[in-house]
Structure 1
């Protein structure tokens, strides 16, 4: 999974507001999930594998993103466990996570610009990378392959 790389958008950032309220987050997650449900690559995971109840799911995801972006402390579920259950039903590939990220990033860029909008994209990339690594049996950290140097006599 590639690291997040900011890109320019068609709309001028000055024309778009930043994410500042729960209403903004609700608009973002509703717009995103509407696209994700209809997407040829990942839509079936939401509709056929998970049978997600979107009206019930949106406030939960708003709690999640409000906690991520504003440290609101509203999300108290185990996102990793949920993704393990999904992965057991339908293996979640790197392509699935990358498509999720493409849709998320595009949706954020269509609706918002600013520090919180950038944070929403960066955090999504970090979270998706960690979830993908964990559901495929690897450590959560992207730095898990870095080993400690052996101690030297001076240590």
Structure 2
């Protein structure tokens, strides 16, 4: 039986396992690999700090996560795939309240990012002035 997420080593395991799958995924891998390029170690470090702050309430991340995603060529199907991989990764490694919280936060983030990207695309096509 899996244990719950409880420390930074668990966060690193989650993030590393998740992104190793993402990098090879046929639908979203290319998008991530093209955007991140050779900066994967930097991206992973940022993701460790992000999830450490969100799940463990150890405030090591600062910044705004949305702006780097604003111009990505993604649609709802990409967010669905991201969430599918994220949920499977969490479920394969952890069980418990923080694991559930990670999935909930991931789902909320995917939905918010998708809505915001769609909004900005719509605004670019239909400016107010």
Q: TM-score range by the shorter chain?
A: 0.7 to 0.9
Q: 2:108 is matched with which residue: 108, 126, 147?
A: 126
Partner of 1:12: none
Consecutive unaligned residues of structure 1, counting only runs of 5 or more, are 1-14, 139-155
1:29–1:62 CA contact under 8 A, matched in 2 = yes
Of residues 9, 14, 36 in structure 2, which corresponds to 1:28?
A: 14
Give structure 2 stretches of 5+ with no counterpart: 121-129
TM-score when scaled to structure 2? 0.88
Tell whether the 8 Å contact from 1:41 to 1:96 is kept in structure 2 after alignment: yes
**2: CA distance, partners of 1:124 / 1:55:** 21
Q: Pairwise mapping of residues 1-155 of structure 1 onto structure 2 (< 5 A)? A: 15-51=1-37, 53-85=39-71, 87=72, 91-137=73-119
Number of matched pairs? 120
Q: Which has the larger radius of gyration?
A: 1
Q: Provide TM-score, normalisation by structure 1.
A: 0.74
- Following the alignment from structure 1 to structure 2, what is the Cα–Cα distance between the partners of residues 50 and 130? 21
| Structure-2 separation of matches of 1:136 and 1:51 | 25
Moved more, 127-136 or 44-53: 44-53
Contact 1:46 1:52 in 2 (8 A): no
Deviates more, 1:91-100 or 1:65-74: 65-74
1:106-146 deviations in whole A, cap 9, x for unaligned?
000000000000000011000110111011117xxxxxxxx
Q: CA RMSD in A?
A: 1.3
Bigger mean CA deviation after superposition, 68-77 or 99-108: 68-77
Name the one with the larger helix percent: 2
Moved over 3 A (4+): none
